[in-house]
Structures are given as structure tokens and as C-alpha cells.
Chains A and B, each alone.
Chain A
């Protein structure tokens, strides 16, 4: 299939693996920032086939996982109110807050609906003028333009029963927080291709220069990911640090200008707390002053809900590759996939959840991953 099969070709992948192995002479830690890339790496087993010297660190790029506990509790509170239609992307429904998730709210009578586009939520507001329709606007720069558009359209149409619970997060400040940490172990980054398709690549040049780390804009299919890794390794081995674009079929330097204009119109940069990581300055978007009438936090008076993250969760250290999941005291006891404390246990692809699933069956990760399944 066009754009899928071509980028999943085992022979070409084999050549890239060989290339990477040939050029690798030292151990390198590479972080893929985006959850979609982590998904591709785990699903295709790319990490198992790389040279041992290459360690992939799964970054904080799953928007569902990093949405802070306090924000989920706000969502649960709003969704429980009578007269509210609470709209969310599907995979947000199962993410637990401090006591419940949105599925449980729904089972107790809350009107929680999965939408596939934020504009569907606007349409629900049009069709239900006597109800308050709230959209849970989460995600990175990738989902933000459509969410901004929904708020903009609601304003244009004069809707008074639509609001958004906004918890957007931004990639460059997260990379900066990681790379500027005194404990940083990351030698190079695969930047998130779809984020860059919106924002362009220009935001990353200053990071490369300031911190001397290679950043390669990378796609999501196996060959895309491998090409990104190959280019980072090539730079690391050569001792250079540059911004490269390995996802040129989608990403341009300037990005999607119309989307950026819409973002600038509707949102403004703010400090944001990341689940399991903590607060990162200027790492999020909230509604701009002009659109504050659409802010669900204000409309439903939930701004003061401020659930502290678990003190025993060390997912921030896991995310930076400083400890392995099972070295966290809460792992498998206080913290499990059903009752996760931090981002890395929330997502099934998070490092902690992956460890948990393998170890649950008393199989060491390495054994489970390398078991011979040839027929």
C-alpha cells in the first residue's frame, strides 16, 4: 500500500540495520520523543535488532500519558456534572485520575462521548443548545491546530454552550528540559515528524546549537525510524551536531503556516505540569485572553483542583533513562497498569508498562524479546 508497504520493507530495513551496526563504534543513547515512534519501535521490534551499543530511550511524547493527574481530575469533575456532554479522544477515556477514569464516570451516568474530530464536539454543541458541551483538548502541536480550529469555529458561530478543557503540551521545551538536566544521558534526538509537519523544523536549530545534540526529524514507519537512527548515529560518530530532516515527504522547514496562524490566534504559551515529570516552563498552550470565555476550567470553576502527583513515582527518571522501571520502589506494587502512578505505566508502550507485561509472566524482558519464534 502506498506510503505503508514501501516503508516497511524487510530487505531495506536489513540494509539500514547493517549500516547502523557498521558505523557504531561507541555506546549511544538516542531518545525518540514521540509516542507514535515508540509504538512503531515496540510493535516492529526495532530496538531488539539494533546493535547493543545503541540504547533507545522512550521520551515523554505520548500526550495521553503526560496529561497531569490534576487535569484528569478536572475532566472527571466536569464530566460528572448533570447537563454536560463531555467529549474526548478515545484513548483518554481509560487514563485514570486519582480515583476514577472517564469510563467509570460514564457508567455512573455521565454523558462522556468519544469524538474523532474536535469539530464533532462543536457540532454537538449546535445540536444540543440546552446542554454544555466540553471538549478535552489535549495533545502536542499535532492535534492542537484542529482543537484551536474548534474553539475558533465555536466563537465564529457565537456558541455559548461550548468550551474546551485545554492541556496542550509542546515538544521543544521538553527536549530542552531533558537535555539541560545535570543527569542527562541522551546523546541525540529523533524529533517527532508529525509535530514538525505543523511547526516546521526551525524551532530545533537553537536547541542543537545551544546543547550540541544532533536532532533528526523522523517519521513513523519502520524505515523512517531506522533512517532517523542512522542519521543520528552518523552525526554522533562524526562528532557533529546538526538539525536534519529525515521526513522530507511530510515536513518542511517552515511547517504549516495556516495551522501556526490558527494556533497563534487561539492559544498562548504557558507553564505546564507533565505527569510523572513535573512542571516544565513554557511547555504548554492555554486559551488566549480573547478566547478565555471558552475555558472549561473557568466555566465550571475547577481551576483550583490541584492533585499532587505521587511522591513515590520515579517515571521522570525512567523517561530520562536514569533508572530501569523495576528499580523504582513502586513498580509492580503501588504502581501497575491498572493503577498507574506515572506516564510510563499509563501507556501500554511506556517503559514501565512494557516491563510489567513481560515480567508478569516471570520472563525476563530480554528472554521474552529474544525468544526464537522461527518455524
Chain B
């Protein structure tokens, strides 16, 4: 199991003499202030020259805003290819981006467990700052609470994000139309399997790394090439299956895809095979599903192939009028199968 490499991280300030989170770090007193002033503000603001207030204010462009929030409770906190920090930034950036918006601003809320090593918090915060820089968004407000030892798995992070929707862009599930091509931005399942491979009790060897990545750059490139993209959805929890089922249900249209068109890395297929899981239901953190009218498919695909996050994009199926609310997969053997949303999370099968 990969361990967090804390060797390179040094605390920017002598946070008193504590090397672990104590209850007082969430108490609103001097310890809280020190965390904010000497850890969060320098990391997220790039400077400690900032006036702290109850809320952040900032200017936005006129027009429509997109707003989303998500909480991150991943275990372990560090996994191959990422950690809870970059996940918390990329996840919310992607949620906002799926409306076609350009994400600009995030908040960050931390629930820390008493006893969490400050070095671990530092690494997570650094990863968040780096992910925010890479995604060109600012983390402008935040909150920290500390709960008693045993009441949280080290730490939980919540982020909320705001983005600006460009003029004329309207992307949501009910915009899907019969005939739309269904495009998948790349190979699936790497994030979920990478996290599983490092989870206590299930460690198994794999070279897979999380696909965690911001997707708004890819979305912008797609929209520059063809503005009338109908639907975007990042295929996180529940995987591509959940995305397709939810869109099909909301749009009251049928969805059909070819199983052989879905790129599944060999290591993901192998892990799914021995765990009894379905790759289409495994979480991704840097993959999107797009529904695009036929006349825009070539432009959108060209734009995606020219972007690092869409290099392996492919068409996997189409939206149909038949069987509204139902997702149908065509199997490698040429049969058809109704694909259903699982009741809860996928569980390893015994047989």
C-alpha cells in the first residue's frame, strides 16, 4: 500500500508544539487562527497578506452561474495517483464544468479527527492548492471543525464551487435528443480500482493510478469546437452506468451502447473479474460522458482528441426514442441486455 510521503513537507510555522490535530484546532481560538493564518491562507491564497472576514467577496461576470457542492470521505486518504485533497478540488470543478461553466471559485470545509497528523493535513492542503492552481480556480473561503478521536476517518473535506456559464450554453440531461451520439472521454475504472487496491483488507498489486483530473479545460475545448453539446456528466460514483441511467431517466429517452466500444484497461478488467464487479459501475474522477447531436460529433471528437483529458475519447452508443428510461447494452456476442442502476454500491460477489 502506498504511504503518504511526508518527507518533503514542512510545516510553514511552528503550529505551537503540536504535531497532531487537537480539539482546540477547531475551537475558534488561537489554535484555529494559527491553522488558518499559517496553513490555509498561504496555501490557497499564495500569500498571507489577506484580510480575514466571515465571508469572501469577489466579482463575477454577468450572466448565469453554476453552483455545486460535494463532500469527500475517501479511504485511504492517499491512494495511487492522488489524495483526498486533489479529489476534492477536481471533483467539484468537474461538477461545475458539466454545465458547460468555467469554474472560478471554491470553498473548502474540513472536518478533522483529533489526532490527525499535521503533516498529513499539510500534504492534503498542498495537494488542494496545487490542484486549484492547475485548474485555475481560487479557494476563497473555508471552515475547520475538529471532532473527537474515532469520530471521523482522519479527515473529511467538503468543497463548493461556482462557475460562469458562457452565453448561449445550455447543458443538462433533459437536453438529450434521439440520435445524439454518446461520447466517453477515455478508459474507465482506474480511479475506483486504484482506491480499492489500497484499501485496508483488500490490498492487491496493480500499476493503476487514479484518473483524478480537472475536466473543465476539455469541456471548454469541446464547446469551442461545437457549442450545441446537449449533455455532459462526469462519471463518478456509480460509474458510466449511473450516468447513463440517470440521463435516460431524466430525459425520458432510451440509451444504447456497445460494450465492445467501451475502453476498459486490462488491469481494470482483471480486477473487476476477480472481485466480481462491473467496470461500467466503477467510479471515475476524470472521465465524462457527453451527448452530442450527429452534426457536431466530428468537431467534438477532434477537439477531445487534441486535449490531454480526451485523447482516447470514443463514441460508445446513441440516444434513442425507444424504451424511454431504459439503458440497453449490446454485448460482444451481439445480444442485448438491459442495464440497471445498482441499488447501492457494488459489492464483491461471492460467486
The stretch among B64-72, B158-166, B213-221, B317-325 that forms the contact with chain A is B317-325
Give residues 247-264 of B contacting A (CB, 8 Å).
256-258
- Which residues on B sit within 8 Å (CB–CB) of A374? 330
A170 to B343: give the CA distance in the assembly, Å: 29
Query: Contact mask B324-338 → A, CB, 8 Å, 1/0?
Result: 011011111111111
Q: Say whether B348 contacts A358, CB under 8 Å.
A: no
Query: Which A residue sits closest to B275, measured CB to CB?
Result: A116
Looking at the complex, which one of B335, B350, B351 makes contact with A48 (CB distance below 8 Å)? Answer: B335
Q: Say whether A94 contacts B338, CB under 8 Å.
A: no
Q: Say whether B351 contacts A1, CB under 8 Å.
A: no
Q: Name the distance in Å between A69's Cβ and chain B's nearest Cβ.
A: 18
The stretch among B78-86, B266-274, B299-307 that forms the contact with chain A is B266-274
Give residues 269-326 of B contacting A (CB, 8 Å).
269-270, 273, 276, 317-318, 322-323, 325-326
Given known contacts A357-B338, A371-B328, A374-B330, A34 and B323 CB-to-CB distance under 8 angstroms: no
A94 to B346: give the CA distance in the assembly, Å: 11
Q: Say whether A45 contacts B335, CB under 8 Å.
A: yes
Query: Which B residue sits closest to A50, measured CB to CB?
Result: B335
Looking at the complex, which one of A1, A44, A61, A371 makes contact with B331 (CB distance below 8 Å)? Answer: A44
Whether A271 is near chain B, meaning CB under 8 Å from some CB there, is: no
The stretch among A136-144, A154-162, A289-297, A320-328 that forms the contact with chain B is A136-144
Q: Say whether A45 contacts B336, CB under 8 Å.
A: yes
Q: Name the distance in Å between A128's Cβ and chain B's nearest Cβ.
A: 14
Q: Name the distance in Å between B96's Cβ and chain A's nearest Cβ.
A: 32
Q: Name the distance in Å between A259's Cβ and chain B's nearest Cβ.
A: 16
Looking at the complex, which one of A138, A361, A368, A375 makes contact with B317 (CB distance below 8 Å)? Answer: A375
Identify whether the interface residues of B are mostly helix, strand, loop, or mixed: loop
A45 to B279: give the CA distance in the assembly, Å: 17
Query: Contact mask A42-56 → B, CB, 8 Å, 1/0?
Result: 111110110000000
Q: Name the distance in Å between B298's Cβ and chain A's nearest Cβ.
A: 16
Whether A10 is near chain B, meaning CB under 8 Å from some CB there, is: yes
Whether B202 is near chain A, meaning CB under 8 Å from some CB there, is: yes
Q: Name the distance in Å between A42's Cβ and chain B's nearest Cβ.
A: 7
A17 to B338: give the CA distance in the assembly, Å: 22
Looking at the complex, which one of B202, B276, B322, B335 makes contact with A369 (CB distance below 8 Å)? Answer: B335
Total contacts A-B at CB 8 Å? 119
Given known contacts A120-B201, A361-B325, A91 and B350 CB-to-CB distance under 8 angstroms: yes
- Which residues on A sit within 8 Å (CB–CB) of B323? 361, 363, 368, 371
Looking at the complex, which one of B257, B269, B273, B332 makes contact with A44 (CB distance below 8 Å)? Answer: B332
Q: Say whether A371 contacts B348, CB under 8 Å.
A: no
Whether B224 is near chain A, meaning CB under 8 Å from some CB there, is: no
Q: Name the distance in Å between B39's Cβ and chain A's nearest Cβ.
A: 34
Given known contacts A44-B332, A358-B338, A371-B328, A36 and B270 CB-to-CB distance under 8 angstroms: no
A361 to B340: give the CA distance in the assembly, Å: 11
Given known contacts A13-B333, A374-B330, A114 and B350 CB-to-CB distance under 8 angstroms: no
Q: Name the distance in Å between B136's Cβ and chain A's nearest Cβ.
A: 37
Query: Which B residue sits closest to A93, measured CB to CB?
Result: B347
Whether B14 is near chain A, meaning CB under 8 Å from some CB there, is: no
Q: Name the distance in Å between A275's Cβ and chain B's nearest Cβ.
A: 15
Looking at the complex, which one of B333, B340, B350 makes contact with A45 (CB distance below 8 Å)? Answer: B333
Given known contacts A44-B333, A120-B201, A92 and B326 CB-to-CB distance under 8 angstroms: no
Give residues 142-191 of B contacting A (CB, 8 Å).
none
Looking at the complex, which one of B201, B269, B344 makes contact with A1 (CB distance below 8 Å)? Answer: B269
Whether A239 is near chain B, meaning CB under 8 Å from some CB there, is: no
A62 to B349: give the CA distance in the assembly, Å: 10
Looking at the complex, which one of B273, B335, B340 makes contact with A348 (CB distance below 8 Å)? Answer: B340
Q: Name the distance in Å between A64's Cβ and chain B's nearest Cβ.
A: 6
A373 to B320: give the CA distance in the assembly, Å: 9
A193 to B305: give the CA distance in the assembly, Å: 44
Q: Name the distance in Å between A86's Cβ and chain B's nearest Cβ.
A: 15
Give residues 1-24 of A contacting B (CB, 8 Å).
1, 4, 8, 10, 13-14
Q: Say whether B350 contacts A139, CB under 8 Å.
A: yes
- Which residues on A sit within 8 Å (CB–CB) of B269? 1, 4
Query: Which B residue sits closest to A337, measured CB to CB?
Result: B343
- Which residues on B sit within 8 Å (CB–CB) of A10? 332-334
Give residues 67-101 of A contacting B (CB, 8 Å).
89-94
Whether A110 is near chain B, meaning CB under 8 Å from some CB there, is: no
Q: Say whether A49 contacts B334, CB under 8 Å.
A: yes
- Which residues on B sit within 8 Å (CB–CB) of A342? none
Q: Say whether B270 contacts A4, CB under 8 Å.
A: yes
20 contacts between A and B (CB under 8 A): A1-B269, A4-B269, A13-B333, A43-B337, A45-B337, A48-B335, A49-B333, A90-B347, A92-B350, A93-B347, A115-B201, A194-B351, A222-B333, A368-B323, A369-B337, A369-B338, A371-B328, A371-B336, A373-B258, A374-B330
Q: Which residues on A are within 8 Å of B, measured CB to CB?
A: 1, 4, 8, 10, 13-14, 34-36, 39, 42-46, 48-49, 61-64, 89-94, 103, 114-116, 120, 138-140, 142-143, 194, 222, 337-338, 348, 357-358, 361, 363, 368-375
Inter-chain pairs besides A91-B276, A143-B350, A361-B326, 13 sampled, C-beta below 8 Å: A10-B332, A36-B351, A39-B349, A44-B332, A62-B351, A63-B350, A64-B351, A115-B201, A116-B348, A120-B201, A222-B333, A368-B328, A373-B258
Q: Which residues on B are within 8 Å of A, measured CB to CB?
A: 201-202, 256-258, 266, 269-270, 273, 276, 317-318, 322-323, 325-326, 328-338, 340, 343-344, 347-351
